[in-house]
Amino acid sequence: MSTANDLLASAQAVVEDLVAANRILYRQKVVDGFGHVSARHPLDPERFLMSQSKAPGSVERSDILVYGLDGEAIEAPGRRLYLERYIHSAIYAARPDVMAVVHSHSPAVIPFGVTDVPLRPVMHVCGFLGEHVPVFEIRAAAGPATDLLIRSQALGIAMARALGTAPVVLMRGHGSTAVGTSVAHAVYRAVYTEVNARLQADAMRLGPVNFLTPDEALAAAETNAAPNVLTRIWDLWKSEAQS
């Protein structure tokens, strides 16, 4: 069995992307002192990589740890772990297609988790939101007196079930979680989920909203998931985050 050091050494490019993703998400105001981003190990699908418990804007390469799909870190004595690491472990276990996960409390999204107004795509770069963005209701899984956090694998599994095959799940009274096929893809979706929420609320104040049709959303999502499109915005964000 590989050691944590071997697993980190064989995933250097992903480790670098993760460090950049933490800083980008902070610069883009998706995360503040809270929130986290992870990536599945590129060679070992039963492992994922994520920082120790730390504010995302200050994450460095030495903070990245290896985790198992039970949510526990491997060979990390003395390191403090994110309470909500089970969001990541449960999604990687449930969704073989997912290679990266972003969990945040980005503010514009919150109203769509606590009202009956669905989050729907209002512009082309947000087409990935599709026809229906699911909302996770923690009361249905754990009763009326939780602190809203995903503190166990069982809660992570319940949340992953609500996510289903979607790219994003809203978490009532808490935040949201976006997934993708790469770190850049998940970061893109997290950033533009927040952008769409802000624009949708603005549009609704003006009058009835003309949303993207499901076919428009699908076509736009395919265009924007193309590697050359993603790379353009990712490289820009990355250079900004390093400055």
- Residues taking part in catalysis: 84
- Residues between 60 and 89 that touch Zn ion (CB under 5 A): 84
Minimum CB distance to Zn ion, residue 140 (Å)? 18
Residue 112 tokens read as 């769509």
At 142 the three-state DSSP class reads helix
- Residues between 167 and 186 that touch Zn ion (CB under 5 A): 175
215 within 8 A of 69, measured Cβ to Cβ: no
- Measured from the CB atom, the residue of 122 and 170 that comes closer to Zn ion is 170
Helix, strand, coil percentages (3-state) for the chain, rounded to 5, are 50, 15, 40
Minimum CB distance to Zn ion, residue 153 (Å)? 16
Sequence-distant (6+) residues with CB within 8 A of 217 are 121, 127, 128, 129, 130, 131
Minimum CB distance to Zn ion, residue 78 (Å)? 24
- Residues between 105 and 144 that touch Zn ion (CB under 5 A): none
- Measured from the CB atom, the residue of 2 and 146 that comes closer to Zn ion is 146
Q: Evaluate the CA torsion angle 75, 79, 83, 88 in order and state its sign.
A: negative
Total interface residues for Zn ion by CB under 5 A: 2
- Measured from the CB atom, the residue of 63 and 84 that comes closer to Zn ion is 84
Q: Which residues bind Zn ion (CB under 5 A)?
A: 84, 175
